[in-house]
Amino acid sequence: MNNEILREIPSVNVMLQSEQGKNLIDEYSHEVVVEAIRAGIDRFRQEQSATEQVNSPYKKEEVQEKLLSIAKEILEEKFAPSLKKTINGTGIIIHTNLGRAKLSLAVKEALFDAAFSFSNLEYDLQVGSRGSRYQHLEETVCDLTGAEATLVVNNNATAIMLVLDTVAKGKEVIVSRGELVEIGGSFRVPEIIEISGCKLKEVGTTNKTHAYDYEKAIREETGAILKVHCSNYKIMGFTKCVSLEELSGIVGENGETEPIIATSNRAIPLIHDMGSGMLINLEKYGLPYEMTVRESLEKGADIVTFSGDKVLGGPQAGIIVGKKKYIDAIKKNQLTRTLRVEKMTIATLEATLRLYYDEQKAIKQIPTLKMLVMGLDELEKKAQTLAELLTGVNEKLEVEVIATTSQVGGGAYPGEEIPSKGVALSSDAISTNQLSEMLRKAPVPIIVKIRNQKCELDVRTIDESEFDTIVETLVNVLNIGT
């Protein structure tokens, strides 16, 4: 313990009166700077108490500077944004843990205007009186999906809950056992049905459900038939599921079934929870077929729900489309107000959706779609460019362009892997796990995937504008680590 240096610690008031102390107060506030200085003194005391050095490493006049430097570090850490820009090197395009879809730069102006100006959110400019926030998206969503009407809420889980609460509360909801999925965060379809005030009616088995299973289940207590996209997994082998067309045939063209007509003449809505809704068929770009929202409605779904922040490439939202009579009823549900979206979501979703009027513009300007359809030749060039920038960063860093695989993520294209290119990093001076951790804890975190004892950066999910940051981070990390 170095008691001599501890005696040189100035008072808190002395440090507050110094030029550096006054600068900290101007940047933060008097109270938080006082707390930070006290915490800095405690940290400094602990460090000095732990050392066995007889002579102090600091001169008397350097002690105050060191303490204020520690206080500044504490304040910067305390006031640093919790939500940080992060570089996604995992190759997972819609990474739930990393914020899902990146917004298009085309929405920047709309987002800025909505955030920093007054707007006509609920004001009808034509008649000069109160309007509806839902009118801003109605025409665009209906144009792109062919729906009669639409409603946007804060996410898809609440969308399906709101739909069920409106059209089937107190009634049975028929769902195939093979579609009783659990989505991220342990949210499960059975629980959502229960919270909605409905009763789950399971039909079929895990791997096989037939049309007659639904037919036998329909009765007076039936409130809806729900078809759920198996977004997180695939059932392979000896399987059978019932298509939307078949289900539409069961409930009839007008949403009515023969057993129900015979007793109460009541319609049964067919609800399709698509999870990650598609507006463009991406088969032509080499991806497997996934039904679009328009096709779902054309095949007989009365109500379709899907996310705005997955393959669609917009902000977090749950989009409900379908027949006007159902959407109008949902809008009148008292829960709708608690689940409504705010102005910035409306502005960014509208700006994103408008790109879909021109398919090629959407592919080029919506980051999610651009990453999805990016070809191997382009990915090879990106990987080579990044590898060249990283070569020579440190003599002990090995850099290699590799073939790898990307995933769509976000519950879209379950089980599908997309061929991709990346850069593999390794070093004899630092372990792969250590390198991964140091990159993750950098000022701009870089998230990698570890494979074959190396850190991989899949360039499909990395923008070229991020290359310089990756180089700078590795320079700093390797200087510390080696």
Q: What is the pLDDT of residue 258?
A: 44
Q: What is the pLDDT of residue 198?
A: 94
d(CA 7, CA 9): 6
Hey, CA dihedral for 278, 279, 285, 289, is it positive or negative? positive
d(CA 284, CA 303): 27
Residue 387 banded pLDDT, cuts 50, 70, 90:
very high
Indicate where the chain has its CATH 3.40.640.10 domain(s): 105-365
Q: Which residue has the higher pLDDT, 152 or 392?
A: 152
Collapsing DSSP states into helix, strand and coil, what is residue 330? helix
Amino acid of residue 276: S
d(CA 55, CA 444): 38
Q: Which two three-digit tokens encode residue 30?
A: 């008097």
Give Dmax (Cα) for the chain: 97
Residue 390 banded pLDDT, cuts 50, 70, 90:
very high
**Above 70 in pLDDT, residue 55?**
no
**Above 50 in pLDDT, residue 289?**
yes
pLDDT digits (tens, 9 = 90+) for 63-78: 889 999 999 999 999 9
Q: Helix 432-440 and helix 467-481: axis angle, to 10°?
A: 120
The pLDDT > 90 percentage for the chain reads 70
Residue 45 banded pLDDT, cuts 50, 70, 90:
confident
Collapsing DSSP states into helix, strand and coil, what is residue 250? helix
**Above 70 in pLDDT, residue 182?**
yes
Q: What is the pLDDT of residue 454?
A: 96
Is the distance from CB of 349 to CB of 137 less than 8 angstroms? yes
Q: What is the pLDDT of residue 477?
A: 87
**Whether the predicted model's global pTM rises above the 0.85 cut:** yes
Is the distance from CB of 159 to CB of 153 less than 8 angstroms? yes
Q: What is the pLDDT of residue 54?
A: 54
Residue 90: CA count within 13 A, CB half-sphere: 17
**Above 70 in pLDDT, residue 321?**
yes
Q: What is the pLDDT of residue 121?
A: 93
**CATH architecture of structural domain 87-94+371-481:** Alpha-Beta Complex (3.90)
Q: Once rounded to an integer, what is the mean pLDDT over residues 278-294?
A: 92
Query: Helices then strands (H, E): number in the chain?
Result: 21, 18
- What is the full DSSP assignment across 130-196? E--TTHHHHHHHHHHH--SEEEEES-HHHHHHHHHHHHSTTSEEEEEGGG--EEGGGEEHHHHHHHT
Residue 181 banded pLDDT, cuts 50, 70, 90:
confident
Is the distance from CB of 47 to CB of 63 less than 8 angstroms? no
pLDDT digits (tens, 9 = 90+) for 296-318: 999 999 999 999 999 999 999 99
pLDDT digits (tens, 9 = 90+) for 230-285: 765 666 667 788 889 999 888 654 444 444 333 334 479 999 999 888 999 999 99
φ/ψ of 227, rounded to 5, equals: -110, 130
> What is the CATH topology of the domain spanning 105-365?
Aspartate Aminotransferase; domain 2 (3.40.640)
Q: Once rounded to an integer, what is the mean pLDDT over residues 12-41?
A: 94
pLDDT digits (tens, 9 = 90+) for 346-357: 999 999 999 999
Indicate where the chain has its CATH 3.90.1150.180 domain(s): 87-94+371-481
Report the b/e string of 161-190 with b at 16+ CB within 10 A. bbbbbbbbeebbbbbbebbbbebeeeeebe
Q: What is the pLDDT of residue 303?
A: 97
The alpha carbon torsion through 119, 122, 128, 129 (nearest 10 deg) reads -150
**Above 90 in pLDDT, residue 4?**
no
Q: Strand 449-451 vs strand 454-458: parallel, antiparallel, or unpaired?
A: antiparallel
Is the distance from CB of 132 to CB of 122 less than 8 angstroms? yes
Beta-strand (E) ranges in 30-164? 87-88, 92-94, 123-124, 129-130, 149-153
Q: What is the pLDDT of residue 207?
A: 86
